[in-house]
Amino acid sequence: MDPSTQATAPPQSPSALAGIAASSLWPSRASDYRFAPSADLRRDFSISNIEVERCVSECAVLRAAGACLFVKDVYPDTFALAFLAALPKHLEVAFADCPVPEPRAAIFDALQRYVSLADAGDSKALHQLYLERVYGDSPNFVKLAVGGIGQVADELIKLGIEQFSIVASELRVISNAG
């Protein structure tokens, strides 16, 4: 095999693929502020700066859940479970400079729960989990839930599936070129 194709061949390990997923799904915090509530919503619902930062961080976790769903559909179960288990380590590194860092165990728990709920098609529970993780200590939690803020979780998981399917497709194309 040509050395130039060896370096770009698809990863054979779930951990290597998780590293690629984390870097491709979390390019920068700045781009995820577009998913944060607008200034008007922040004012109307008394959303704190910490909650905005949690919202931005949760974008990566939700897209990672989308990547897990994609991997679950494409790879054997053992590979998909190992991929899910490896992702939190990579996300924890990405979150290191966040104003609200999150421990690996909490990221893993959230990923597992998001994947399980999305796979079961339970949007209501998925939205609830998102709201609890981002706005759980908000005095306006019920208003936020009724206002439909949690629906962004569906959008971000779908975005994660789409983005990671493109990454995976590019990896296969590179692999087949050699």
Number of domains in the chain: 1
> Which pLDDT does position 102 carry in this prediction?
84
The pTM score is 0.87
Q: Is residue 60 part of a domain?
A: yes
Helix axes 77-94, 49-74, angle to 10 degrees: 160
35 in a domain, yes or no? yes
- Burial classification of residue 79, based on how many CB atoms lie within 10 Å of its CB (0-12 exposed, 13-18 middle, 19 or more buried): middle
- Over residues 147-153, mean pLDDT: 91
- pLDDT, mean of residues 65-75: 93
Tokens of 153: 């979780």
Would you state the torsion angle of the CA atoms of residues 131, 137, 141, 145, taken in this order, to the nearest 10 degrees? 0
- Does any domain span residue 1? no
Q: Does the residue 14 lie in any domain?
A: yes
Residue 100 belongs to a domain: yes
Q: Is residue 4 part of a domain?
A: no
Tell me: pLDDT of 177 over 60.
no
26 vs 132, more confident: 132
* Mean pLDDT score, 121-147: 94
pLDDT at 35: 92
Q: Residue 81 pLDDT more than 90? A: yes
Give the whole-angstrom CA distance, residue 47 versus residue 81: 35
Residue 2 maps to a domain: no
Domain that holds residue 89: 9-177
175 pLDDT band (50/70/90 cuts)? very low
Q: Looking at residue 33, what DSSP letter applies?
A: G
CA distances from 21 to 14, 87, 88, 115 (A): 10, 8, 11, 15
The closest alpha carbon to 91, from 3, 18, 14, belongs to 18
The residue length of the chain stands at: 178
Give me the residue label for tokens 């380590």. Answer: 89
The residue that leads in pLDDT, 8 or 60, is 60
How wide is the angle at C-alpha 73 spanned by C-alphas 9 and 16, nearest 5°? Answer: 35
